[in-house]
């Protein structure tokens, strides 16, 4: 995945035409687009390929299954054009290793080690740092860490060396793009602040400008 503007668009739109239209408008300002299962369920898996012709695609599938199923999901997503796949760490070392092995040199695996919604504090947060160390052992390309809590980005950075960090939560959820990058994130993920804007390109450009102040 390229690392130029540091901005990843969370494409939370589930209508195919609207989704493609937004990406078309902001393609110059983003390094990648992040999609999730709701778009696949509404618009079909062909969306992965269609979007990959416009920009890099991160499949935020939060894969959380046994190794054989992880293999099939990552294999299909990468074959359809994904540049990265997001996988949960909590299903353990064998599942995460299988994701990395399946992606090979064709795509990057990002591991989720904690989640920022209230329920995320119940179980995943208890093991976040242990899961980050496990992710390093498994050879993942990067990790997901919340932009809303730059101290967590710093904590994960201290564990993972020079692996990448992708940080959701910028904009509508209150996180600052420049603060997340300054804390050690490689990419910030922004959804509503761009998708719901009357001028998505201008909104994306403003975030890129903010990021550049700390590079």
174 counts as binding a copy of itself under rule CB under 8 A: no
85 counts as binding a copy of itself under rule CB under 8 A: no
72 counts as binding a copy of itself under rule CB under 8 A: yes
Distance separating alpha carbons of residues 115 and 168, to the nearest angstrom: 10
DSSP 173: T
Nearest distance in Å: CB 143, a copy of itself: 16
Residue 62 annotated to the active site: yes
102 counts as binding a copy of itself under rule CB under 8 A: no
107 or 211, CB closer to a copy of itself? 107
Alpha carbon separation from 199 to 2, 26, 96, 107, 174 (Å, rounded): 25, 10, 39, 31, 20
**Nearest one of 98, 39, 101 to 63, comparing CA atoms:** 98
Residue in 26, 58, 67, 167 binding a copy of itself, rule: CB under 8 A: 67
Torsion angle, CA of 13/49/207/124, rounded to 10 degrees? Answer: 70
**Nearest one of 122, 115, 66, 127 to 91, comparing CA atoms:** 66
Site stretch for a copy of itself (CB under 8 A), options 30-38, 151-159, 195-203, 205-213: 30-38
127 or 205, CB closer to a copy of itself? 127
Catalytic machinery residues: 62
């Amino acid at each position: 995945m390229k690392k130029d503007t540091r901005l990843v668009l969370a494409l939370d739109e589930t209508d195919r035409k609207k989704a493609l239209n937004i990406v078309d408008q902001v393609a110059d300002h983003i390094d990648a687009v992040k999609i999730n299962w709701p778009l696949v369920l509404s618009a079909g898996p062909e969306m992965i390929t269609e979007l990959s012709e416009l920009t890099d695609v991160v499949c935020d599938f939060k894969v959380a299954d046994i190794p054989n199923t992880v293999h099939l999901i990552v294999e299909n997503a990468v074959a359809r054009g994904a540049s990265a796949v997001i996988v949960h760490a909590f299903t353990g070392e064998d599942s995460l290793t299988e994701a990395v092995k399946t992606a090979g040199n064709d795509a990057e695996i990002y591991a989720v080690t904690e989640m920022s919604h209230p329920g995320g504090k119940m179980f995943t947060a208890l093991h976040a740092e242990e899961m980050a160390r496990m992710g390093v052992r498994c050879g993942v390309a990067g990790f997901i860490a919340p932009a809303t809590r730059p101290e967590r980005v710093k904590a994960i950075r201290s564990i993972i060396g020079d692996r990448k960090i992708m940080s959701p939560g910028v904009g509508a959820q209150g996180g600052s793009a420049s603060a997340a990058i300054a804390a050690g994130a490689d990419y910030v993920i922004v959804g509503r602040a761009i998708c719901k804007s009357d001028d998505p390109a201008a909104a994306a450009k403003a975030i890129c400008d903010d990021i550049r102040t700390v590079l």
